[in-house]
Amino acid sequence: MDRCDGYHRINLRPRCIMVLKTENLGLRIPKDGNTIFEKLSFELNEGETGFVSGPAGSGKSTLGLALCGFLPLWAGSWDITGTIFLNGKLLEQGSNPAGTGMILENPYTQISGLKRTIFHELAFPLECSGVSPEEMPSIILKYAELLEISHLLDRSIRTLSGGELQRVHIAGTLMTQPRFLFFDRPLTEIDFEFRPVLMDIVCSSIKQTGAAALIAEDPWLLQKDSFDKEIVLGKKGDVEQTEWHQPVHTVNVASHIPQKAVLSVESLAFYYEADKPVLDNCSFSLGNGDITLVTGPNGSGKTTLARLIAGIIKPARGAIILDGSPIDTMEEWEIMTAVGLALQDPGLHLCRKTVGAELELARKWGNAPGKYVELLGLDRLLDIHPLELSQAEKKRLGMALACGIQRKLLILDEPTQYQDAEGFGRMVNAIITLAGEGRALLIISHDPRLFKVFPDAGIIHLSRADIS
Ligand SMILES: Nc1ncnc2c1ncn2[C@@H]1O[C@H](COP(=O)(O)OP(=O)(O)OP(=O)(O)O)[C@@H](O)[C@H]1O
Ligand SMILES: [Mg+2]
């Protein structure tokens, strides 16, 4: 307060209280001498949200880990230079600083593995922050309602869809009200309708609690200009390369191949729990060279539909006919030979020590991916351990493993997730080439780019328990 002419005058200019500050932050990998980023200096004040942009491999996730103090420097994989201050205090890596929270890029790796239900999973971060058991239920219910997951609280976390899981992690991170939050691709698994709602929830929570946050996300999934700051990683010009233009290998989509039904789905119904239909009366068909996109809100049954067609689970009613044969008359190996499934969580594909060995296994089973290894940019990664790949590379490996030569039908569950412009172009080229060979493609997606690139594709929109 200033004193002026005998009156007390309140200074209305808001004070900027700094939450996070970096000075000349740099990160290198000593093994190969590669610099991930360097000379990064910025500040975030209370109530501010910043956008982190940069192409694949530019260090967004590693920056997030470093800013939250989670970099396992003892593992010897990184050299960090410069300083990070949180609330004015120097942040040491590995010191488990109170007051930071992170949403990991891969929601499947953020599950605690300790709790039986979603309610208990959400109670876990509150327990760790010392909230009393009496206060917990009302906090959990409030955030569950905000993230539209109240109906899931009694369920086991292992049964959630990708988007439902992402919402649980975001609720769990927001409810402990950390001073600084890093969101690593929080929208990748979230459906079209809920994305803007989620960003509103995050930004208003940051403002109300006086915290600060950084959000690393693909620019085509959100409104960049709604952020207070932008932090750009990668070489100048890389970031702008977000629009995918023309595929390098264009193929005339199967116009030369006589049309024949590859897949017919007739009046399909499915329930995980009695009286709660996930799919009901779902019918469609796919012919040679057809590309059909499946969309719909989180939890509407897209992945379930994929599992049904791949013969992993059995329908309650209806028929699935593959190349003229009902799949309930086919042996498991016959379905696996004819149907390729690239999973939403690509980590579930991986079981060998190198990318080359994963591909070799597919070849031994008679479904070699052939030219798709190169088309998907995996030829330069053959000696790498599959778990060392980025999420984008894991997705492309999952796609290659699905593309085996005998596969007539390919089901791709969110294939373009995590892909920058180059990865997206490779995926699109592979899809066009597969269709050109007369394979039928059922592609589950929340990626607006894919709908632009295939304007003539069939679209199946699932809503809860029905199809329109
Ligand atoms: N084993 C299970 N037991 C009970 N419910 C399940 C099980 N597996 C999935 N579900 C539920 O079935 C519904 C459909 O799940 P599915 O994974 O098919 O959704 P989705 O459309 O793929 O969603 P997303 O866009 O989030 O990936 C969800 O509400 C999910 O929680
Ligand atoms: Mg899914």
| pLDDT tens column, 184-219 | 999 999 999 999 999 999 999 999 999 999 999 998
Q: What is the pLDDT, as a whole number, of residue 243?
A: 47
How confident is the model over 280-292, as pLDDT tens digits?
A: 999 999 999 999 9
Positions of E strands within 74-179: 79-86, 89-90, 100-103
Inform me whether the pLDDT recorded for 4 exceeds 60: no
Kindly state the tokens that stand for 183. 């969101």
Nearest-atom number in ligand 1 for the CA of 446 is 25
- Taking the centre of ligand 2 as the mean of its atom positions, its distance from the CA of residue 145, in whole angstroms, is 21
**Closest atom of ligand 1 to CA, residue 152:** 31
Residues 6+ away with beta carbon under 8 Å from 291: 253, 431, 435, 441, 443, 454, 457, 458
The mean pLDDT value for 238-244 works out to: 44
- CA 333 → CA 327, 330, 338, 358, 373, distances in Å? 11, 8, 9, 18, 23
Tell me the percentage of the chain whose pLDDT exceeds 70. 90
- Residue 244 confidence (pLDDT) above 50: no
Give 249's pLDDT tier (boundaries 50, 70, 90): very low
Judged by average pLDDT, the poorest of 172-181, 185-194, 253-262, 326-335 is 253-262
Please tell me the predicted confidence (pLDDT) of residue 260: 77
Residue 226 pLDDT level (bands cut at 50, 70, 90): confident
> Is the predicted pLDDT of residue 11 greater than 70, yes or no?
no
Residue with CA nearest ligand 1 atom 19: 299
Which residue is closest in CA terms to ligand 1's atom 2?
159
Report the distance separating Cα 260 and Cα 275, nearest Å.
Answer: 36
Q: Please tell me the residue having the least CA distance from ligand 1 atom 16.
A: 301
Q: Band of the pLDDT at 466, cuts 50, 70, 90?
A: very low
Q: Return the closest-CA partner of residue 282 out of 290, 298, 294, 299.
A: 294
Instruction: Say what the pLDDT of residue 189 is.
Output: 96
Ligand in closest contact with the CA of 464: 1
Position 97 scores a pLDDT of 74
Give just the sign of the alpha carbon dihedral 378, 381, 383, 386.
negative
Which of helix, strand or coil describes residue 170?
helix
Specify the ligand 1 atom closest to the Cα of 165. Answer: 26
Report the pLDDT value the prediction gives residue 239, as an integer from 0 to 100.
41
pTM: 0.90
Mutate to test the pocket of ligand 1, among 170, 276, 304, 309 (most ligand atoms within 8 A of CB): 304
Res. 101: pLDDT tops 60: yes
Q: How far is the CA of 161 from the centre of ligand 1 (A)?
A: 4
Q: Nearest bound ligand to CA 107? A: 1
- CATH superfamily for domain 261-467: P-loop containing nucleotide triphosphate hydrolases (3.40.50.300)
What is residue 94's predicted lDDT score, i.e. its pLDDT? Answer: 82
- Over the stretch 31-83, which tens digit does the pLDDT of each residue have? 778 888 999 999 999 999 999 998 888 899 999 999 999 887 666 677 889 99
Distance 413 CA to ligand 2 centre (A): 7
What is the side-by-side strand order in the sheet with 79-86?
A: 34-45, 18-29, 79-86, 89-90
Closest C-alpha residue for ligand 1 atom 31 = 160
Average pLDDT over residues 333-351: 94
Q: Which ligand is nearest to the CA of 307?
A: 1
Quick one: which ligand is closest to 296's CA? 1
Q: Which ligand is nearest to the CA of 300?
A: 1
What is the residue-averaged pLDDT of the chain? 89
Residue 5 has pLDDT above 60, yes or no: no
Judge whether residue 250 has pLDDT over 60. Answer: no
- pLDDT tens column, 125-156: 999 989 999 999 999 999 999 999 999 999 99
Q: What is the mean pLDDT of residues 300-307?
A: 98
**Dist. CA 186 → ligand 1 center (Å):** 19
Nearest ligand 1 atom to the CA of 462 is 21
Q: Residue 468 above 60 pLDDT?
A: no
Q: Which pLDDT belongs to residue 54?
A: 87
Residues in the ligand 1 pocket, defined by CB under 6 Å? 159-164, 189, 191, 272-273, 278, 296, 298-304, 344
Given CATH 3.40.50.300, say whether it is the number of domain 18-232. yes
> Closest residue (by CA) to atom 6 of ligand 1?
159
Q: Which atom of ligand 1 is nearest to the CA of 166?
A: 26
Same CATH topology for 18-232 and 261-467: the answer is yes
Find the range with the poorest average confidence among 14-18, 222-226, 348-352, 356-360. 14-18
399 or 54: which carries more pLDDT confidence? 399
Give the CA angle between residues 336, 429, 109 to the nearest 5°: 60
The values of phi and psi at residue 210, to 5°, are 70, 25
Domain assignments of the chain as residue spans, ordered by start:
18-232, 261-467
pLDDT reported for residue 330: 97
Atom 29 of ligand 1: nearest residue by CA position:
299
